[in-house]
Amino acid sequence: MESEKMDENEWRYHGEGNKSLVVCHTQRCVVLRFLKFLPNRNMTTEEVYQHLQNILDFGKHVMKQFLGENYVHHGEVVQLPLDFLKRLCLRVQSERPESRCEKEMDVSGYAMCLPNLTRLQTFPFIERRPIFCIEIKPKCGFIPTSPHITKEIKKKVCRFCMHQHLKVAKGKWKRISKYCPLDLFSGNTRRMHFALMSLLQESQNNLKVFKNGELIYGCRDDQEHLSDLNELAHHLKPFFFPTNGLVSGPQSTMCVLKEFIQVLAATMLSTSVDTGRAGGFKSVPVSQGRNYCEAGHFYTEHLRNGKHKIETSGLPKGSILYKTLQAQMLDMLDIEGLYPLYKRVEKYLEECPEERSTLLLDGPYDETFFEKLKDLSMEDNGSVEFAVTKIQQYRVAMTAKDCSIMIALSPTTQEDCFDQKSIIKTSRSSFKYSVSILDLDLKPYESIPHQYKRDSKIVSHYLNREEPALSHIFTEKEDCTLLLHKV
């Protein structure tokens, strides 16, 4: 990147989260990611650089080994002219959602330069055609079985479904989503389709759709904005039904969305052969507990229809969902089992503060760090080393639980010559696709106490919530639930 030729007019606001802001280039397939701080920030320029370098190293040396190099794009840290940054900051300020403006974009001089994952990363000539990108934040895909769990509800209802009740009660969202991560991670086509349709109907911040890099559907940090499925179908219809043979109206919308969902599910089940070293990493045993969530709408609909068996098919080992789930399941103790280990380490650091760097709590995130993650032993010998290993595994798992899957799709024609493995076909169309992973920042060691308190708050609120008026409908089905437990 030629910093002396930087022009703020060639960049536009792309989006932001709690910790970073992203701008994208109007012509080239790249984005710049900046850190965000409260106005009274206390990080030096050197600390900003090191923080960005740690993010890059963790993606390159750790998450790429778990998820595969075909899915992880780690980018590079770049230094930019200060006058360009100040002009860029002023340019994007008016486009930022008001709810995000309590933090300011860092203009100290460093950013991460990354590929724009809303565009296809290969076959540049295809960029002349429309490109859709779907960003899905799948969340945690398993029910924990740790013996350290004190509330049995955590072994029956997934974290996402419990958290929904607290978020609605606090006013973050207006409605509870029917999406349950266990449906998406089930590998069962019907359950996956149900999960994806639920995300479309109540996307919150778990699903976004971009067309040629522009957000056309999903969360805009404005809960008053109602996403219009008919409008989304209007964008998709020419590519999923190019002959335009459908009548207009609700029937047409649903047919288009079903085709769209079928393509999304197929891409997430597709497998990739890569040169990452995740294959040499001993797999975390898949939970022998539930493959469903008792609060999941797919499950409750099954009960309502008198069905006693929930469907699951398993995930292909090379698929992005399988790889993500394996990384998530490094959380083997649950936060309740991990928190005492955190306190053990904190006590040790009070006595020996100089040992913090030896324990690799702040990096470097390199080969040594990755190798230490391979110890899946659950026998606690009371050592600080055991505690640190479990803490690092937990941090990686939490990162995988909060990542985003980016699926880029572009229509192809019969004349196009592609590797058929990278083509998804429907009854009427075919698409070139690429799958990538975003948001792979390692969760901070210091956030563990906050996560422990939040977990308790989520569970407590769920247990003490007011039951919906229709909950009595399922009372007579309790025997069915017991039968499911036996299965």
pLDDT at 462: 96
pLDDT at 485: 34
**474 band by pLDDT with thresholds 50, 70 and 90:** very low
Q: Is residue 109 a contact partner of residue 82, using CB atoms and an 8 Å limit?
A: yes
Cβ-Cβ contacts under 8 Å for 131 (sequence gap 6 or more) = 118, 119, 120, 211, 212, 213, 408, 409, 410
Q: Is the pLDDT of residue 246 over 60?
A: no
pLDDT tens for each residue of 98-137: 888 899 999 989 999 999 988 765 544 445 678 999 999 9
Query: Which of 9-18, 173-182, 306-315 has the lowest average pLDDT?
Result: 306-315
pLDDT at 33: 95
Q: How far is CA 10 from CA 13, 81, 362, in A?
A: 11, 15, 36
pLDDT at 248: 58
Q: Is residue 37 a contact partner of residue 100, using CB atoms and an 8 Å limit?
A: no
pLDDT at 250: 60
pLDDT at 1: 59
Q: What is the pTM of this model?
A: 0.87
**183 band by pLDDT with thresholds 50, 70 and 90:** very high
Q: Is the pLDDT of residue 23 over 90?
A: yes
Which phi-psi region, left, alpha or beta, contains residue 171 (left: φ > 0; alpha: ψ -120 to 50)? left
pLDDT tens for each residue of 144-175: 999 999 999 999 999 999 999 999 999 989 89
pLDDT at 224: 44
pLDDT tens for each residue of 340-396: 999 999 999 999 999 999 999 998 999 889 999 999 999 999 999 999 999 999 999
Mean pLDDT of 172-195: 94
Provide the CA 340 distance to its chain's centre, in angstroms: 27
pLDDT tens for each residue of 247-289: 555 668 888 999 999 999 999 999 876 645 554 455 555 544 5
Longest dimension (CA), the chain: 74
Strands 132-136 and 214-218, by their bridges, are unpaired
260 vs 267: CA distance, rounded Å: 11
| Per-chain mean pLDDT for the chain | 85
pLDDT at 227: 57
pLDDT at 4: 59
**18 band by pLDDT with thresholds 50, 70 and 90:** confident
pLDDT tens for each residue of 24-80: 998 888 999 999 998 887 788 999 999 999 999 999 999 999 898 889 988 899 999
